[in-house]
Amino acid sequence: MDISIERRLEAAEAFAVEGQIKSCEVYGSGHINNTFLLVCQKEGKEHSYILQQMNHDVFKDIEGLMRNVKGVTTFLRQQIVENHGDPDRETLNLIPTKDGKDFYIDSQGSFWRVYLFIDGATCYNLVEKPEDFYQSGKAFGRFQCLLADFPADELTETIPDFHHTPVRFDTFQKAVEEDIMGRAHEVQQEIAFVRERQEEMGLALRLKAEGRLPVRVSHNDTKLNNIMIDDETGQALCIIDLDTIMPGFSIFDYGDSIRFGANTAEEDQRDLSKVSLSLPLFEIYTKGFLEGSQGRLTETELELLPYGAKMMTLECGMRFLTDYLQGDVYFHTSRAGHNLDRCRTQFALVADMERKWSDMKEIVKKYQG
């Protein structure tokens, strides 16, 4: 959506930024929020910020979302200071409005926020070398370490039941039964694949209920492009895109990274012989994640890391299959059967994980200390 410069400036001028506004240009490649680089000048010195128009269609409870972001970033800042880090670069920092609020509602009812810009760092969309994936693991492990004492139960669910796999299964079952597109007959093998694994889907919630699996601050979008990498050192610097932080499980954040980053094929690969779990990439991410978490994960969490990888992959495939059965109404598709291709890729990856299960568990043991 093209946002006029007048609306950008209306929003920018509501915040307590340093100096006079020089420019406000489109920035980044995000698909959910509209993001702009805001540059201001004061006494000959430039000050840069990230201005974002938040997507109220995706995130219905902006106040709850921003309460999450403010709480987590404030806590992170305190932890970073205590660890002698740089709080202006190692976490996102919200800039308040001129009347002290965390977000601004413009004349057309849109919601805006401003972050301090992090200089000298870059986000990468793709893993270009194994070191990138290691740094990703280390960053998300450190995220868990720094937030281990944060009261995760106090966070708002910005997307209810986002990784509630049994609820996703119920939605899938309903899609099969209703079969509004008449497609169920052609995907009986995929339907059976999901149903055969139903019992596993509730394990995390059962262990939570028994007090054996702790609720953590969960990022829920643990891709490489949500990490700022320092341009000079190549080290992971800061986790960004905190809109989906919610109460959740560390094993699911870990697992979604493996699903996305350790697959040898593209997400919609039609040739399933190319789909497999790369054990070297699995190992390097696990090494980084456990180094970053610095012993703050419980024995149960460590034991369930491979399960987290399998369950996030199975859940993702189930969601693609559900959307295919419902007529491709949620995920954007670029060809007929696109969601079915995606589903089959995820299920092929699950099957390969099952074949390599003992190797995955041994790798985790190797690095858990």
CB 338 within 8 A of CB 257: no
- Could you tell me if residue 81 is inside a domain? no
The pLDDT value recorded for residue 141 is 97
Together in a domain, 134 and 102: no
The pLDDT value given to residue 31? 73
- Residue 74 is assigned to a structural domain of this protein: no
Q: Please, which pLDDT band fits residue 288 given cuts at 50, 70 and 90?
A: very high
State the burial class of residue 336 (Cβ atoms within 10 Å of its Cβ: 0-12, 13-18, 19+).
Answer: exposed
Has residue 26 got a pLDDT over 90? yes
How large is the average pLDDT for residues 279-308? 97
Q: Do 114 and 196 sit in the same domain of this protein?
A: no
Report pTM.
0.93
- Structural domain harbouring 321: 130-367
pLDDT above 70 for 225: yes
Q: What is the CATH number of the domain that holds 334?
A: 3.90.1200.10
Q: What are phi and psi of 221, to 5 degrees?
A: -150, 65
> Is residue 55 domain-shared with residue 158, that is, in the same domain?
no
- What pLDDT shows up at residue 66? 98
172 and 272 fall within a common domain: yes
pLDDT at 27 over 70: yes
Identify the residue with better confidence: 35 or 124. 35
The predicted pLDDT at position 32 comes to 84
Instruction: Tell me, yes or no, whether 38 lies in a domain.
Output: yes
Question: Do 155 and 25 belong together in one domain?
Answer: no
246 and 97 co-located in one domain: no
Instruction: Please indicate, yes or no, whether residues 296 and 155 belong to a single structural domain of this protein.
Output: yes
Per residue in 322-356, pLDDT tens? 999 999 998 989 999 999 999 999 999 999 999 99
The count of structural domains within the chain is 2
CATH number of residue 113's parent domain: 3.30.200
Would you say residue 177 lies in a domain?
A: yes
Mean pLDDT value of segment 316-326: 97
141 and 175 part of one domain: yes
pLDDT of residue 186: 97
**Statement: residue 65 has pLDDT above 90:** yes
Residue 90: pLDDT over 70: yes
- pLDDT tens, 121-171? 998 877 778 898 999 999 999 999 999 999 999 999 998 888 899 999 999
- 199 in any annotated domain: yes
Instruction: Say yes or no: 143 and 34 in one domain.
Output: no
Residue 125: predicted pLDDT: 77
- Name the band, by pLDDT with cuts 50, 70 and 90, for residue 58: confident
Quick one: pLDDT at residue 1? 60
Same-domain status, 111 and 177: no
Residue 77 resides in a domain:
no
Biggest alpha carbon–alpha carbon distance for the chain: 69
Same domain membership, residue 45 and residue 149: no
- Whether 232 has a pLDDT exceeding 90, the answer reads yes
Whether residue 96 is found in the same domain as residue 163 = no
